[in-house]
A and B are shown apart, each in its own frame.
Chain A
Amino acid sequence: MFYWAPHTSELELHIEAAGEHEVFIDALLGVAELLGVDVRREPDVCRRLRAQAGDRPALLAAWLEELIFVVETEGFEPVGVRELRLEDESAEALVVGSLGEPPPLIKAVTYHGLTFAAVEGGYRASVVLDV
């Protein structure tokens, strides 16, 4: 699950999930919600995203950066994740969605308050988006 915490000027995404894969998937779904994308709709395009970073929090940020890049440059509207492969310092996935005109909301993924940690029963992560 994900939720948005109050932040004076930016958007702060929090994720609680059973596994690491789910954290990455929920992060994508959080962005989809922000863009107003109906994730129940049938996807008709896919994009392969590859992210690299030296630790899990930075890898989560890199994953979202890749996603936001295709949103910004192609009008990609994500609805789900296929074939997510996580390694220590990389993530690779096929994301599915459609092409449209997503609202212009997200400028960048920050490292402020960036977390990704194992907790009892799963994982917790947080990331602040510059909007």
Chain B
Amino acid sequence: MSELPIERVGERIWEVPAGARAGMRVPARVFADAELLSAIRADHSLEQLANVATLPGIVEAALAMPDIHQGYGFPVGGVAATEPPAGVVSPGGVGYDINCGVRLLALPLDVGELGARRSPLMREIARRVPVGTGGKGSRDGLRGIRLERVLALGPRALLEDLGIGSEEELTVTESAGCLERADPARLSPRALERGAGQIGTLGSGNHFVELQRVDRLYDPPSARAFGLREGQVTILIHSGSRGLGHQVCTDFVKRMDSRLRDYGIELPDRQLSCAPLDSPEAQAYLGAMAAAANFAWANRAALAERARAAVGAVLGPAAARGLRQVYDVAHNVAKLEQHDGRTLCVHRKGATRAFPPGHPELPGAYQDAGQPVFIPGSMGTASFVLAGRPRALELSFGTTCHGAGRRLSRTAVRKQVRGEVLRDRLEEQGIAVQAGSARGLAEEAPEAYKDVERVVDVVHAAGLAAKVARLRPIGVIKG
């Protein structure tokens, strides 16, 4: 239970004052309602957020979305903006799974038209999408990949070299699926070795492919702009940069940790290891991180291609051709962005960019609606499609939440839930389940997560992002 003082400073906004703990340079600010705040105070989330507030060059506040929970170094659901040149970049502020994110695909049919073909489609996707962190199954990635081009160009390399994806799909991907500062030469041989053969693989933990139906529209005009209608079948893909990204973070946490004294940086947690943005270490990290981010976007493009092939095999070529990508967003990344005339390095760790209507970085089709944001719930609850709103730029550096947020440890949830029982329960709810292990399934049980509807209501009410549609799962493939 956190003992840090926290006070209400606005509607659904709470603040740990900058003086609450030695070394804090800015306040720690949390978007939450009273019930979520109570859950947030139950673990070390606020202490971790207060630690983030000590980073050199942090501006405004260390921010937390309502899905914040205890992580390592940064809390998950944390946002920190630092200002060059003295401001720092912290690899732990991005996390090990660089550019973990979600991609939403919309099928050209309704759940009624899918009918009894749901289970065959699930089995076919599961057959084509390898799962797991390592060993067998983790290296069944796409063949013919030119890794260096993927690291430099992201999914564009798949389009140009293998004909995977389309120009339209690149347009509806955050940053067009390519961070321009990518520098593949900054990756260690071990990072390249871990990433080899992993493009087109899902990974483990909370990664998934979910088959869904659009259950409710809150904002029909924006839903129309996103190509979504009630009853429509969608596919949500959650994955990241796999072993390659994990190794990039490992390499740079260690490297920056060894230089902290040289830069006169003292930290309350070694996992916050960081370097000034104008330092060689920071520049190298940003180049490597961007390359890993590009790898992750390519990975989700490859996973989408595999899902499309499964759709084609089960539902026919017309359905495969009609499968549209709504958008693809990162929720673990650091980017140099312009905010109020300043260039800032915005770290989003388990947090999603949410730019409002009219923002120049949005594709033309979404200029009126705002940036699509996808908030996965848990496998037994709803997910949400949101759209970025202007208040996000005023309050959170254009950021909103990324999920429901864990509330129970893996051990705790395994004591409450057995995987086999959970599978039966989900099947009774009309949710087909494919999982690598009963243990892994139990660890991701809905009981492990906060109420996603409450989380989404907070960001909606705070004006960070607006509700557009609710998606209900009808099938889940767990990594």
Chain A residues within CB distance 8 Å of chain B: 4, 6-11, 53-54, 57-58, 62, 65, 69, 71-75, 100-114, 128, 130-131
Contact = CB atoms under 8 A, between A and B. Distances in A.
B409 A8 contact: yes
Interface in B400-437: 406-412, 436-437
A112 B135 CA distance: 27
A8 B96 contact: no
B385 interface: no
B73 A111 contact: yes
A7 B136 CA distance: 28
A108 B250 contact: yes
Interface in B79-105: 92, 95-97
A108 B134 CA distance: 12
Interface of B: 43, 45, 69-73, 76, 92, 95-97, 131-138, 190, 193-194, 203-205, 243, 246, 249-250, 253-254, 257-258, 269-271, 273, 406-412, 436-437, 439-440, 479
A112 to B, nearest CB: 4
A75 B139 CA distance: 12
Contacts of A114: 270-271
The 7 residue pairs across chains A and B that have the minimum distance between CB atoms: A104-B133, A72-B134, A112-B72, A104-B132, A112-B271, A111-B270, A104-B204
Nearest to B249: A108
Contacts of A105: 133, 204
A61 to B, nearest CB: 8
Interface centre among A9, A53, A65, A110 (most CB of B within 10 A): A9
Secondary structure of the A side of the interface? Answer: loop
Contacts of A11: 410
Contacts of B437: 103
Nearest to A110: B72
B55 to A, nearest CB: 15
Contacts of B133: 72, 104-107
Given A4-B411, A8-B407, A101-B136, A128 B205 contact: no
A53 B86 CA distance: 27
B198 to A, nearest CB: 10
A10 B72 contact: yes
A109 B250 contact: yes
A9 to B, nearest CB: 5
Contacts of B258: 54
Contacts of B136: 75, 101
A102 B134 contact: yes
Given A62-B254, A103-B439, A130-B246, 20 more contacts: A6-B411, A9-B70, A9-B76, A11-B410, A53-B254, A57-B270, A74-B135, A103-B440, A104-B133, A104-B204, A105-B204, A107-B97, A108-B96, A108-B249, A108-B250, A110-B271, A111-B254, A111-B271, A114-B271, A131-B205
Contacts of A131: 205, 410
A112 B44 CA distance: 12
Residue among A73, A112, A130 facing the most chain B CB atoms (10 A cut-off): A112
A80 B399 CA distance: 47
B72 A8 contact: no
> In this complex, which of A4, A53, A109 has the most chain B Cβ atoms within 10 angstroms of its Cβ?
A109
12 contacts: A7-B409, A8-B408, A9-B409, A104-B137, A104-B479, A109-B250, A110-B92, A111-B72, A111-B270, A111-B273, A112-B71, A112-B270
